[in-house]
Every structure is written in C-alpha cells, then in structure tokens.
Amino acid sequence: MKGTNIMAPATPEQLSHIVDFLKRERRDLSLEDVMVLAERMAATLDETVARVDTLLHDEFRAIVGEIANLRRDIGGLRPDHMRFERIPEAGRELDAVVEATETATTTIMEAAETIMAADHTDVEAYKALVDAKMIDVFEACSFQDITGQRIRKVVRTLGWIEERLGQLSQKLKISDVDNDPENESEAERRQRELILHGPQMKGEGVSQDFVDDVFAISGQDDIDKLFG
C-alpha cells in the first residue's frame, strides 16, 4: 500500500481489491496501512457524494421549474374568480330557481285545492272562483321564463369551468385515474351502496311498463327472459 497517492479516489476495481484484501484476515497489517485504506475509502465516498449532490440539485431545480409552471397555469384559470364569483353566483342562481319553482308549485296546488274543495251548488260563484284561480295559475307559470334564463347562466358558468379545466388537463397531460374504492368519498360510497342514481334523462331510465313487467313475473326464468 506504501507509495500510493492516498488522496486519489479508488476505482471500482481497486475497491474490489481492497475488500478482498481485508477479507483475507491479514495479521501483518500496520496501523499506517489501515489509515491509508480508510483515507482512500473516504476520498472515494467524497466524490460519490459530490456526484449525487449535483444530481439531486439538478433534479430539485427541475421540480422547482415545474412547480413554477404549474402555478402559472393554475393562475391562468383565475381560480379566485371561479371560487369567489362564478361558482357562488351559479349556486345563488340555482337556489333562486328552486325557490321560484317551489313558489309557483305552491300557488298552483293551492288553486287546485281551493277549486276541488269549493261549493259548486252556486254555479256563478263557482265559475267566478275557478276563473280567479285560473288567473293565479297562469301568473304562477311565468316562473318558467325567468328560471330558464337563470339556468342558461349556470350552464354558461359550467361551460366556462369545463373549458379551463380542459386546458389545464391538456397542459399537464393528466388522464383520468380509474375508480379506486380507496379514494371513494363517503358520499360516493353511500350513492353506490344505496343505489342512488337520481332522475334519468328522457329515454335513459326504465319505463313504467318495464317496471310492470318485472313485477308481473316471479321466477328466475322469467327474469332471464326479460333481460334475454
């Protein structure tokens, strides 16, 4: 070992020789030999650590760059405008739609109930009552025009959000993650377990005739035929 440059890092081949040398249980080693070996090993590690350090530094710089790009892209979506203006406004519009339809329904039902409960022995008085209640019904139906406008505003907001999320998804090259029961929220679990789909679009759900067919049968064979 004497006469070697102890500061020079060992090559992998030299390291292999050193390891073999130590494994041979040499009893003629001096303290100086051990020191030389230790210093060569340390020099080797220094270079390795320096290489890894540079690599990590480059990786972190790349990650920081990506985060900066992501922040810029998300900023372009105007998230505060979406969160504090567009979405709450859409929520208020939908609340107003619910309120308007409820008010109109109540007015129409009250009119119907009043007519059904009215005394029709006095024909003239009965006709006057029916005419007045029919006017109430016509007036109540005017809700449809305003709710239509409100719903169109909500649809525009949804389109605006969809467009921006689509742009972000494209930039980030994000694809859908498959449904994973572990990522399922409590509300999603409830919907799945309690079979809560909500109303279907016209032509998508089953008809009352289909339901009647299901209830008209009793055996598994009949059920199989129905879906056959």
Binding-residue pattern over the window 169 to 208 for other proteins, x denoting contact by CB under 8 A: -------------------------xxxxxxx----xxxx
The answer to the question of residue 146 lying near other proteins (CB under 8 A) is no
The answer to the question of residue 98 lying near other proteins (CB under 8 A) is no
**Complex with other proteins: residue 144 or 167, whichever CB lies closer:** 144
Nearest to 133 by CA among 121, 146, 120: 120
Determine the residue type at 207: S
Binds other proteins by CB under 8 A, chosen from 4, 30, 106, 149: 106
On the CB side of 174, CA atoms within 13 Å amount to 11
**Complex with other proteins: residue 31 or 196, whichever CB lies closer:** 196
Binds other proteins by CB under 8 A, chosen from 145, 178, 182, 215: 215
Q: How far is the CB of 62 from other proteins (least distance, A)?
A: 48
Q: How far is the CB of 195 from other proteins (least distance, A)?
A: 5
d(C-alpha 86, C-alpha 156), whole Å: 10
Determine the residue type at 59: E
**Complex with other proteins: residue 38 or 226, whichever CB lies closer:** 226
Task: Please calculate the CA angle 108-110-111 and round it to the nearest 5 degrees.
Answer: 65
DSSP 8-state class, residue 170: H
Answer whether 96's CB lies under 8 Å from 139's CB: no
The answer to the question of residue 135 lying near other proteins (CB under 8 A) is no
The answer to the question of residue 49 lying near other proteins (CB under 8 A) is no
116 φ/ψ sector (left φ>0, alpha ψ -120 to 50, else beta): alpha
Q: Give the sign of the dihedral formed by CA 122, CA 125, CA 128, CA 130.
A: negative
Binding site for other proteins (CB under 8 A): 102, 105-106, 109, 112-113, 116, 194-200, 205-208, 210-211, 214-215, 223, 227
